[in-house]
């Protein structure tokens, strides 16, 4: 059996600004219904990559080489006009800054309706009904009122929800979210990310999540690609990238990630937990248990298997928690 075609495939993508190349040959693929996190520090080329995929590079920006495929469709080198046909409908963008991404002098409902209008939803009444549906879908209370309000009347989190409503209005197969929560505080950030998770679960949308925060990436994405100076230094399943980072830069990111331990995040984690993942990544294994099995003879019955194929490794000088309810072995 062949694997299903990824929703998006970038191959050796190169992008430059005024002849200075800043993205040097990225290759990655996003499967259907999957979240891929593109992680890297500021200036590493995340937004440039995201904009290149959407045909939205600013003045002076140019795709120098490589291929981008949307499903089976090769969209490399497409004109702006051609991109307009798929932007929103096939690939939706959730922008970074909810404040500057909305027009301050138009009610937010009108701005969401605009997306529908541009893509051929001609009937005003059904368009407006759809806007209310979308605002409700993204968790805004009282959609009727919200639709009539101006951006400044909404909180940052509410504005980001409006932008998500606009991004999903045409049910795109892929959402590109460029640091969608970096302008929001921690609690609102979590709720907005929860919303994206939920939309993904319900609609099967794929997401390219662009973030500088490795913790967010680990929480939200099945796979991570680590970007440094316009190159992917490492990519793979999140759990693997975090537990066994291969590249020194990934280890550095891990050490720098606030309040972060492998697969589990607690904003209030004490410092020894915060640094555990980074410290652990440096140490050799002291205990390696592989395929551990323990059976007990129970009189008059079949042997009882209390431990069945348990494997784990403990690095020197670290604390490994073995968690389970009473009787679990
Ligand atoms: N409009 C632009 N014109 C010229 N250079 C740019 C422009 N936008 C970004 N760059 C440069 O491209 C590189 C990558 O930037 P960017 O993609 O914005 O990184 P990130 O999103 O990871 O912070 C940086 O060196 C940045 O200075
Ligand atoms: Mg950016």
Domain map (residue ranges) of the chain: 8-90+172-273, 284-329
Q: Which residue has the higher pLDDT, 297 or 62?
A: 62
Q: Which residue has the higher pLDDT, 312 or 22?
A: 22
Tokens 């984690």 belong to 269
Tell me what percent of the residues of the chain surpass a pLDDT of 90: 62
- Give me 142's structure tokens: 């009282």
Out of 13, 14, 17, mutate this one to test ligand 1's pocket (max ligand atoms within 8 Å of CB): namely 17
**Ligand 1 centroid distance, CA of 233 (Å):** 18
CATH class of 8-90+172-273: alpha beta
Looking at the chain, which runs of residues are DSSP E strands?
A: 8-17, 20-30, 35-39, 61-70, 73-74, 91-94, 174-178, 206-211, 223-228, 231-237, 285-296, 304-315
Q: Which atom of ligand 1 is nearest to the CA of 42?
A: 23
Cα–Cα distance measured from residue 258 to residue 248, given in angstroms and rounded to the nearest whole number: 18
Q: Measuring CA to CA, which residue among 186, 281, 200, 198 is closest to residue 242? A: 281
Cα–Cα distance measured from residue 87 to residue 76, given in angstroms and rounded to the nearest whole number: 14
Q: Which of helix, strand or coil describes residue 215?
A: helix
Average pLDDT value for residue range 100-127: 93
Please give the pLDDT value at position 51: 95
Please give the pLDDT value at position 168: 94
Ligand 1 lined by 45 (C-beta under 6 Å): yes
Q: Is the pLDDT of residue 113 over 80?
A: yes
Tokens 């020197």 belong to 316
Cα–Cα distance measured from residue 202 to residue 200, given in angstroms and rounded to the nearest whole number: 5
């Amino acid at each position: 059996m062949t694997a299903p075609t990824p929703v998006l495939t970038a191959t050796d993508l190169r992008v430059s600004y005024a002849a200075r190349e800043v993205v040097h040959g990225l290759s990655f693929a996003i499967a259907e219904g999957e979240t891929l996190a593109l992680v890297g520090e500021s200036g590493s080329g995340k937004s440039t990559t995201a904009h290149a995929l959407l045909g939205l590079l600013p003045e002076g920006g140019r795709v120098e080489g490589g291929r981008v495929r949307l499903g089976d469709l090769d969209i490399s080198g497409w004109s702006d006009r051609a991109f307009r046909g798929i932007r929103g409908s096939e690939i939706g963008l959730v922008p970074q800054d909810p404040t500057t991404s909305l027009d301050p002098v138009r009610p937010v409902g009108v701005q969401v309706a605009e997306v529908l209008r541009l893509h051929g939803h001609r009937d005003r009444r059904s368009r407006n009904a759809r806007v209310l549906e979308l605002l409700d879908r993204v968790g805004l209370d009282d959609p009727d009122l919200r639709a009539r309000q101006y951006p400044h009347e909404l909180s940052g989190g509410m504005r980001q929800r409006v932008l998500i409503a606009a991004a999903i209005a045409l049910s795109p197969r892929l959402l590109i979210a460029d640091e969608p929560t970096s302008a929001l505080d921690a609690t609102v950030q979590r709720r907005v990310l929860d919303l994206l998770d939920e939309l993904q679960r319900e609609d099967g949308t794929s997401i390219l999540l662009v973030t500088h925060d490795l913790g967010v990436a680990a929480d939200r994405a099945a796979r991570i690609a680590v970007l440094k100076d316009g190159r992917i230094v490492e990519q793979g399943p999140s759990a693997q990238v975090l537990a066994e980072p291969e590249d020194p830069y990934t280890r550095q990111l891990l050490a720098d990630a606030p309040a972060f331990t492998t697969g589990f995040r607690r904003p209030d984690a004490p410092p020894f937990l915060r640094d555990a993942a980074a410290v652990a990544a440096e140490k050799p294994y002291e205990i390696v248990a592989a395929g551990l099995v323990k059976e007990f003879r129970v009189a008059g019955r079949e042997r009882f298997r209390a431990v069945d194929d348990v494997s784990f490794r403990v690095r020197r000088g670290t604390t490994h928690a073995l968690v389970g309810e009473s009787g679990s072995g």
